[in-house]
Amino acid sequence: MNKIVKLTIIAIVISVSISMLSTSLFSDGHNAPTDASQQVEAEIKKTFGTVPVIFKVFPEHMRAGAWEWMKSTMSPEAAIPAKYSQLIALGVASQIPCNYCVYVHTTMAKMLGATEKEIQEAVARAADTRHWSTILNGHSLDFEEFKTEWDGIVAHLKKQSEVGEKLKRRIPMSNKLNEENSVVTVLIEVSYEKDTETIEEFIKEEQTPFIFEQNVSKLKRFEWFLDREEKSGTLIEVFADADGITEAAGKVMGTPVNLKFRDLFDIEKMTILGNISEELKEQLAPLGPTVRSYAAGFSIAYHDKKDIRISIEKNIDDTGEEIVNVVATGSGSVTKEDIEKELEKLHAEKNIDISSGNVNIEINVEETK
């Protein structure tokens, strides 16, 4: 038997073996629903209230992988908050274009707190990118030369941003009588069926750390209070203003922790204390909140009245040297020593060498009238 014949026989044997192996490995997945696929379908239905058509028309043996991928895009570990992720997807969908996708990502973005202006900007940004892509590609510009030019532009912009850098520190301390403020308090009354130990574990080990890690800039308080005998509780969220609610919704809504919260608790009542926009009221309407606007009252600061404002300006002189100008102004019961302490903290944080001849410091203490 010559060498060519031998190689041909070997190839045929290998081919047949692979074919038999493939049949044994994959045939079961195509013939009947497996326990795994039924489990995935149940999980999808629990999440969405139904099995969306996109999964029904998807090959059954591939649904588990598709579902895992979709869940990963909603993971709390994602670097991009859920609202902005939906706005990005909306921009892409507008470009494809995909009417189904545009509808899905628009409604999801709104549910997560996106305003009409944000949605308009997301679509306009996608159009803007396509516009300039047409210009650049149409003229077949040299890519390496383009990158060199753009890197220079970025370096210039960074330098300019440092020139105008300003930092203000305020320590507002005053008593207010009947002065309307922007603070918004959200009270959520809930009940639950599971044992209190499970509920407390979720609150302490999952939800509270997760909310804390989201770093919602305008969320000032997030506190739970439970009635262990009645199996009920109250969640208090205090925001610096109504924008804080929108920010929190964008980072939290739709995440696994949020979905678990809705699974564990029945919301009996939601009360919002403070002034919120009509647009935000519409977005929150599905939750059925009672909204009460500010009427009158007073707040008392439990410390001396002090106000310290610090600004930092960095400039580049004619010789290319960086000049740092620091202006600190205090009012109320602020002393020069108070301002100097704040400056010491600030200098450490901003890594400013006070002894350098390039740093100019001006301290002003305003007289209390």
Together in a domain, 214 and 310: no
Together in a domain, 231 and 212: yes
Instruction: Identify the pLDDT of residue 355.
Output: 66
Beta strands in 175-292, from DSSP E residues, in sequence order:
176-177, 184-192, 219-227, 232-239, 265-273, 290-292
Instruction: Identify the pLDDT of residue 27.
Output: 43
Together in a domain, 289 and 313: no
CA atoms within 13 A of residue 314's CA, in its CB half-sphere: 15
Together in a domain, 185 and 272: yes
**25 belongs to a structural domain:** yes
pLDDT along the chain (369 residues), means of 10: 46 42 43 69 85 86 86 78 88 88 88 89 89 87 87 76 46 52 91 94 93 87 94 94 90 90 94 91 88 81 63 74 81 78 75 73 73
Q: Which domain holds residue 188?
A: 176-299
Together in a domain, 313 and 282: no
**330 belongs to a structural domain:** yes
Q: Which residues of 87-106 are buried (b: 16+ CB within 10 A; e: fewer)?
A: bbbbbebbeeeeeeebebbb
**279 belongs to a structural domain:** yes
Determine the Cα–Cα distance for residues 272 and 73; give it in Å rounded to an integer: 31
Give helix 63-73 / helix 35-48 axis angle, nearest 10°: 40
**44 belongs to a structural domain:** no
Together in a domain, 284 and 310: no
Together in a domain, 247 and 198: yes
**153 belongs to a structural domain:** no
Determine the Cα–Cα distance for residues 218 and 215; give it in Å rounded to an integer: 9
Together in a domain, 259 and 350: no
- What is the helix (H) or strand (E) element at residue 259, kind and residue range? helix 256-264
Together in a domain, 291 and 310: no
Which residue, 108, 115, 38, 40, is CA-closest to 74? Answer: 108
What torsion, rounded to 10 degrees, do the Cα atoms 75, 79, 81, 85 define?
A: -90
Together in a domain, 187 and 278: yes
Tell me how many domains the chain contains. Answer: 4
Together in a domain, 293 and 313: no
Question: Does residue 292 contact residue 203 with C-beta atoms inside 8 Å?
Answer: no
**68 belongs to a structural domain:** no
**Residue finishing a domain among 241, 272, 299:** 299
pTM: 0.40
**54 belongs to a structural domain:** no
**155 belongs to a structural domain:** no
CATH number, domain of 183, equals: 3.30.70.100
Together in a domain, 215 and 180: yes
Beta bridge partners of 232: 191, 227
